[in-house]
Amino acid sequence: MFRMILFTQWKWSRLAVLLGTLAAFLLPILSVQHAGSREVTPWEARMLLTSIQSWSVLYPTLATAIALTLALMAWSADHRGRHVYALSLPVPRWHYALQRFGAGAVLLIPPAIALLIGALVAAALATIPHGLQTYPVALAARFALAMAVAYAVFFAISAGTTRTAGYVLSIPFIGDRLLLWPGPLEIFSGRWMLIDV
Amino acid sequence: MSHAIDIRDLQYRAGKTFEIRDLALRVPTGSLYGFLGPNGSGKTTTVRLMLGLLRPLSGSITVLGAQVPRDIPRILARTGYVPEQPHLYQSLTIDEALRFHSVFYPTWDWGWANELFGHFGLERDRRLSQLSKGEMGKLEMLLALAQRPELLVLDEPTDGLDPVVRRDVLGALLEYVSHLVHELERICDWVGVMDRGRLVAELPMQSFKNGIKRLRVANPPALPGDTPFVVLAREVNNGTETWTVRGWQPPMSQYFDGVGASLREVIDLDLEEGFVELLRTFRVPRE
């Protein structure tokens, strides 16, 4: 049963998964294109960090885009059919929702792995100035966690009606609580640096 | 008599205008039960309540001996359902839709599915979004039948099917929901009539068809008085009157002798005419 649900979700969202995987692989590699030599002045090292930092906003953006797309695609076919098909299948509703969630979560794996590989390749290719370090695994873990959190949030919201989603997202109090520690979206704030001190 | 479906005191409300009130309905096991009623009378809503797709305000629903909504997965595993509107995932091919559907039903019969597949003349690699209304109807029917259900619930399933396929598939029906009354007349042995969220009649098809007649009466009385049948309508034409009556039986012709009238002819009504007359009866006091 799970395989078939995974198959349908793959079919609906494969383009997003493939594009997201490609982007996740290329992003770390592109971000280190200005890394030059090991012997640089403090000013040049700072400029490199600034350059890396300017790319860092793209990681949470990409994680959010992939998670949002997968969450929306998980429910879009059921929304179109007004959930009649899903509700008429002989499985408990929580079970069906859990399997849909799980299938989407599985599809987050390729972009996460692609980012890890891309970050490892970038770290290997780039010449890092003295005093700076690369953090490919930490960056990939953060990216994977951000995708998982965003996917869970968007999946829950998109499972409801548009009106419910509107209510949830329009309450500033909830937005703050989500974004600030210990809110689940706190993962999106902070430093997303492949190269850092 | 055991009942495949037993609904008692069902209450449901959708918005401010539509409600189902005190609905009681019993579908005998092994019967072909047809649901009649004009658009918006509550047929589809009742079916959805029965299958747990909607939640009632109150009342009890038992399907195949199990309670709704508590035992819904168990009920749905034994029930084939063809909804009014196509509900399958449009981006799948027919083959993918079959494989997806089959994994949910332990009783799925691939042998019969393949047989029906050939019978319906469907192409496995066509996307559902490319199917005509008739092809989609065939596929929905195929999915419902190949799971070998104990109960088949069909909500206007023949809409768009060609006559040959329509005749073939209708033979396997246990529950039939339609306002296409001519089809019901051919296949159903029980009929329920809904109007404005109420079940206004539930009886064997033969009783329904036999009970409503049109009588041609000469020298009719000005007032029918205490008749042994229910007079639904009277029309004057050429010195005689045509009465539409409910609850008619042949011995009741003696009534006319007693009031000095003579019964010239008893005319059978087809199901559609009977259905219209029955609804008129129930609506007159409220209009």
Task: Please give, rounded to a whole number of angstroms, the shortest distance from the CA of A86 to a CA of chain B.
Answer: 9
Percent of chain B residues past pLDDT 90, beyond the cut: 18
**Total structural domains within chain A:** 1
Q: Does B186 lie in the same domain as B224?
A: no
Asked if residue B230 is part of any domain, the answer here is yes
d(CA B43, CA B74): 23
CA B125 to CA B203: how far, in whole Å? 45
Q: Mean pLDDT throughout B95-104?
A: 93
User: In terms of domains, do B168 and B235 share one?
Assistant: no
Q: What is the pLDDT of residue B175?
A: 37
Residues in A closer than 8 angstroms to B104, CB to CB, are 1, 89-91
Do B91 and B142 belong together in one domain? yes
- The verdict on B88 touching A (C-beta cutoff 8 Å) is yes
| Minimum-distance CB partner of A81 among B72, B81, B87 | B87
Residues B233 and B173 occupy one common structural domain = no
Q: Are residues B140 and B234 in the same domain?
A: no
In a domain, A27, yes or no: yes
The verdict on residue A167 lying in a domain is no
Average pLDDT over residues A145-168: 81
Same domain, B163 and B32: yes
pLDDT band for position A120 (cuts 50, 70, 90): very high
The verdict on B177 and B249 lying in the same domain is no
CB atoms B90 and A8 under 8 Å: no
pLDDT score for A65: 92
B56: exposed, middle or buried (Cβ count in 10 Å: 0-12, 13-18, 19+)? buried
pLDDT band at B177 (very low <50, low <70, confident <90, very high): very low
pLDDT at site A46? 75
Q: Distance between CA atoms of A192 and A40, rounded to whole angstroms?
A: 23
ipTM value: 0.78
For residue B178, what pLDDT band results from cuts at 50, 70 and 90? very low
Give the CATH number of the domain where residue B169 resides. Answer: 3.40.50.300
Answer yes or no: do B135 and B190 share one domain: yes
Query: Is residue B202 in some structural domain?
Result: no
How far apart, in whole angstroms, are the C-alpha atoms of residue A140 and residue B72? Answer: 43
pLDDT over threshold 80, residue A48: no
The residue type at B78: R
pLDDT band, very low/low/confident/very high, at B162 (cuts 50, 70, 90): low
Residues of A in contact with B90 (CB under 8 A): 77, 80
Lowest mean pLDDT among A157-166, B48-57, B67-76: A157-166
Compute the nearest-CA separation of A75 from chain B (Å). 11
Domain total in chain B: 2
In a domain, B201, yes or no: no
Is the CB of A98 inside 8 Å of chain B's CB atoms?
no
User: Is the pLDDT at A37 greater than 80, yes or no?
Assistant: no
Which domain, by its residues, includes A94? 2-157+174-196
Alpha-carbon distance B227 to B263, whole Å? Answer: 14
In this complex, is the C-beta atom of A163 within 8 Å of any C-beta atom belonging to chain B? no
Token match 């579908």: residue?
B27
Structural domain ending residue among the three candidates B196, B230, B245: B196
Give the one of B87, B96, B105 whose C-beta lies nearest to A85's C-beta: B87
Considering the domain boundaries, does residue A65 fall inside one?
yes
Q: What is the pTM of this model?
A: 0.75
**Which among A11, A12, A92 has CB closest to B73?**
A92
Instruction: Using the predicted structure, report yes or no on whether residue B168 has a pLDDT greater than 70.
Output: no
Domain that holds residue B101: 3-196
**C-alpha separations of B95 from B102, B124, B226 in Å:** 11, 5, 64
Look at B6 and B199; give whichever has higher pLDDT.
B6
Say what the pLDDT of residue B100 is: 94
Chain B partners within 8 Å of A96 (Cβ): none
